[in-house]
Amino acid sequence: MHYFRYLKGELYAEDVPVRSLIEEYGTPLYVYSHKTLTRHLKAYNDAFMEIPHIICFAMKANSNSAILRLIANHGGGADIVSGGELYRALRVGIPPEKIVYAGVGKTDDEIRYALSKRILMFNVESEQELERINDIAGQMNVIAPIALRINPDIDPETHPYISTGLRMHKFGIPIENALEYYRLARGLENIELIGVHKHIGSQITKVTPFVDALQRILVLIESLKAEGINLRYLDIGGGLGIQYKNESPPHPKELAQKLLPLLKGLDITIVMEPGRSIAGNAGILLTRVLYLKKGEDREFVIVDAGMNDLMRPTLYDAYHHIVPVRKNRRKLITADIVGPVCESGDFLAREREINTVEHGDCLAVMSAGAYGFSMSSNYNSRPRPAEVLVKDGEHYIIRKRETYRDLVRGEMIPDFLDK
């Protein structure tokens, strides 16, 4: 559920008319609902309240500082995949003991940074990474807390680009080799084994893959106990889907109902890494119609938001519901809704049935709160949009719109080119 709705034909974000946000901040514009974000966080906490747990928000979904501060204020942690994400998390007050660090390509500097800040644990993805963390921890005279990311070879039945738990993927350690890796880790002087991690993908709309993956990991945990390796943390990952079109993803409560019977009695703290299911439906992207153009076999609605603002349709052929900011009763047309970027792949929707629009009309791209701004770019030297957070009847700018000057910040022209 989210808090974007129509009142008398006008789209509102909580108690704020979206049109007023456009008038004040312009387009393209990302708008987030405070009430939706907090509701989704509460849904996870309530669902898993019976057992010790930490909700580590997957920062790659949305890394705006205001969103992260909201997460911190509600007791959440962070799932990070870079030194930059660690910096952002610490800057807004997320406790290091609630930060887990995943990703297959951690650099030496990033490892040192995370060790110096004493994060909860590294989710280690390979033998060489394990040995490198051990070496760096030794140089720093510290002990590195780690979990091994285990690839359970479970099909999450999602888009292949966001599936991560099969044998063919770059992530994690094959489950059949897990015991061997834990034995290796146990023998390393500067490593403390505290957990196990699995994450099978994103936008998963069934509970069964989560259950199947967890069952395989629980068998591994029992095997580790038999070898005297007792873990304190079980990171079950994230990946719960949201509704973009006509999906019926499970509520966190439904996920908990299936997982809790398997987890009770483990004497272990559960770590969860939701991202999309927290932020996805909490955000929209607002855009203005620039032109209408008749093509050979279709109509084009050209808007001021492009693939550099919202990459998902281009990258994944992803569907986002697109609605008018102000409802109308004009005739229905079938059109491609496209942006101004110089690429044929620059589209927000293809062959979409919509009411006829006119120059200056505004549209809302729904469910854009996750992997929207966080994947945006300056391609075609386009400044990135502003971001706004709405709480009840108030609105707050949480990122200023970039300017042309921002585009060249940090660039330098060597003296010889001025001669």
Annotated catalytic residue within 226, 332, 342, 412: 342
Q: Measured between alpha carbons, how far is 332 from 48 in angstroms, rounded to an integer? A: 45
DSSP state of 380: G
56 part of the active site? no
List, as one string, the DSSP characters of 41-109: HHHHHHHTTTS-EEEEEEGGG---HHHHHHHHHTT-EEEESSHHHHHHHHHTT--GGGEEE--S---HH
SS3 category, 381: helix
Q: How many CB atoms lie within 10 A of CB 19?
A: 15
Q: Measured between alpha carbons, how far is 234 from 13 in angstroms, rounded to an integer? A: 37
Q: Which of 283, 274, 241 is nearest to 36 (CA)?
A: 283
Residue 262: CA count within 13 A, CB half-sphere: 20
Contact criterion met (CB below 8 Å) for 204 and 243: no
Q: Which two tokens stand for residue 206?
A: 């069934």
Contact criterion met (CB below 8 Å) for 257 and 208: no
Residue 346: CA count within 13 A, CB half-sphere: 21
Q: Measured between alpha carbons, how far is 379 from 314 in angstroms, rounded to an integer? A: 14
Q: Which of 243, 248, 242, 237 is nearest to 274 (CA)?
A: 237
Q: Measured between alpha carbons, how far is 196 from 192 in angstroms, rounded to an integer? A: 12
Q: In what order do the strands lie in the sheet with 16-17?
A: 4-7, 10-13, 16-17
Q: Is the peptide bond before 383 cis (omega within 30 degrees of 0)?
A: no
Helix, strand counts (H, E) of the chain: 12, 21
Q: Measured between alpha carbons, how far is 301 from 323 in angstroms, rounded to an integer? A: 13
Phi then psi dihedrals of residue 405, to 5 deg = -65, -35
The DSSP element (H or E) to which 121 belongs, if any, is strand 121-124
DSSP state of 142: -
Q: Measured between alpha carbons, how far is 285 from 387 in angstroms, rounded to an integer? A: 9
Catalytic residue list: 342
